[in-house]
Amino acid sequence: MVNGEHSFSSNLWSSSLFLKLSSFFISLVPCSTLATTILCFLLSDNQSSSSVVVVAVVFHAMNTQPEQVCYQPPKMYTLGVWLGDNPLNYSLPLLTLQLFLVFTTTRFFCYILRPLKQPRVVSEILGGIVLGPSFLGRSETFRRIVFPPRGTVVLNTVGMFGLMYCVFLIGVKMDPGLMRKSGRKALLIGMAGMILPLIMVTFISLSLGQFLLKEPQNALMLSFLAALLPITSFAVLIPILCELRLLNSDLGRLATTTSILSDIWGWFLMVLFIVLQASSSSPAKSAWALFSVVALVSSIVFVIRPMTLWIVSQTPKGRPVAEIYILFILVLVLVIGFFSDMIGANSFNGALVLGLAIPDGPPLGDALVDKLDCIISGLLLPLYYAMSGLKTDVFAIHDLKTWTFLQIIFITSCLGKLLGTLLPSLYYKMPFHDAFSLSLLMNSKGLVEVITFNLWKDLKLLDDQSFTILVLSTVTTTAAVTPLMRFFYEPSKKYVVHGRRTIEHSRPETEITILTCVHTQSNVPSLIKILEASHPTPESPILVYPIHLIQLVGRSIPLIVPHDLSRPSFKTRGTNQSEPIINAFRIFQERHEDVVSVHPFTSISPSATMHEDVLSLALHKKVTFMIIPFHKQPLVGGGMEHNNAIETMNRNILSNAPCSVGILIDHAVEGNMYTQSGQLLYRIGVFFFGGDDDREALAYAGRMAIHPCVSITIVRYFSPDSIKDQSKARRLDEEAISYFKAKNMRNNRVSYGESMVKDSEQIVKAISSITSENYDLLMVGMRHERCALLSAELAGWSECPELGVIGDLLASKDLSSTALVLVIRQQAHVRSKPKQEQAPFYNIIQPYGASNSGYEAQGDDASIRYSSRSSSRSSTRSYKY
Same domain, 368 and 473: yes
d(CA 316, CA 321): 8
d(CA 100, CA 24): 38
Answer yes or no: are the C-beta atoms of 787 and 719 closer than 8 Å.
Answer: yes
Same domain, 435 and 576: no
Answer yes or no: are the C-beta atoms of 795 and 808 closer than 8 Å.
Answer: no
Looking at 642, 668, 694, which one is the last position of a domain?
A: 668
- The CATH number of the domain holding residue 350 is 1.20.1530.20
Same domain, 418 and 525: no
Same domain, 749 and 642: no
**Amino acid occupying residue 423:** L
Same domain, 772 and 656: no
Domain that holds residue 465: 117-142+163-490
Dihedral angle sign, alpha carbons of residues 410, 411, 412, 418:
positive
32 part of a folded domain: no
Taking the CB of residue 405, how many other CB atoms lie within 10 A of it?
21
The whole-number pLDDT of residue 331 equals 92
DSSP per position, 363-430: THHHHHHHHHHHHIIIIIHHHHHHHHHHT--GGG---HHHHHHHHHHHHHHHHHHHHHHHHHHHHTT-
768 part of a folded domain: yes
The whole-number pLDDT of residue 330 equals 92
Same domain, 732 and 663: no
The candidate with the shortest Cα–Cα distance to 73, out of 8, 2, 141, is 8
Residue 323's contacts (CB-CB under 8 Å, 6 or more residues apart) are: none
Q: Cis omega (within 30 of 0) on the bond before 363?
A: yes
Beta bridge partners of 56: 68
Residue 867, SS3? Answer: strand
The whole-number mean pLDDT for each consecutive block of 10 residues of the chain, a chain of 881 residues, reads 42 43 42 40 39 37 49 66 77 88 90 84 88 88 85 84 87 74 78 86 74 53 73 76 78 82 73 66 72 87 91 82 90 91 80 86 82 84 85 86 84 89 88 86 82 82 86 88 81 70 81 91 89 84 92 75 71 67 90 88 86 88 91 72 86 88 77 41 86 88 87 84 69 85 85 80 79 83 70 64 82 74 84 52 41 35 37 33 27
Same domain, 345 and 471: yes
The candidate with the shortest Cα–Cα distance to 842, out of 718, 744, 724, 712, is 744
The whole-number pLDDT of residue 22 equals 46
- SS3 breakdown of the chain: % helix, strand, coil, rounded to 5? 55, 15, 30
Taking the CB of residue 574, how many other CB atoms lie within 10 A of it?
24
Same domain, 227 and 274: yes
Same domain, 472 and 514: no
- Alpha-carbon separation of residue 328 from 325, 339, 386 (angstroms): 5, 17, 30
16 part of a folded domain: no
d(CA 28, CA 288): 12
Same domain, 650 and 794: no
Looking at 428, 455, 490, which one is the last position of a domain?
A: 490
d(CA 476, CA 335): 37
d(CA 572, CA 601): 11
d(CA 87, CA 79): 8
65 part of a folded domain: no
Beta bridge partners of 856: 863
Looking at 490, 523, 548, which one is the last position of a domain?
A: 490
100 part of a folded domain: no
How many distinct structural domains can be found in the chain? 3
Same domain, 618 and 688: no
What's the chain's Rg over C-alpha atoms? 35
Q: How many helices (H) and strands (E) does the chain have?
A: 31, 20
The whole-number pLDDT of residue 822 equals 92
499 part of a folded domain: no
391 part of a folded domain: yes
pTM of the model: 0.71
- Alpha-carbon separation of residue 514 from 591, 625, 713, 827 (angstroms): 18, 5, 23, 14
d(CA 111, CA 100): 16
d(CA 640, CA 646): 14
- The CATH number of the domain holding residue 808 is 3.40.50.620
The whole-number pLDDT of residue 329 equals 92
Same domain, 814 and 689: yes
The candidate with the shortest Cα–Cα distance to 276, out of 449, 62, 459, 66, is 62
The whole-number pLDDT of residue 26 equals 39
416 part of a folded domain: yes
DSSP per position, 579-596: HHHHHHHHHHHHHTTTTE
The whole-number pLDDT of residue 307 equals 92
- Alpha-carbon separation of residue 421 from 494, 546, 612, 632, 688 (angstroms): 21, 35, 24, 44, 53
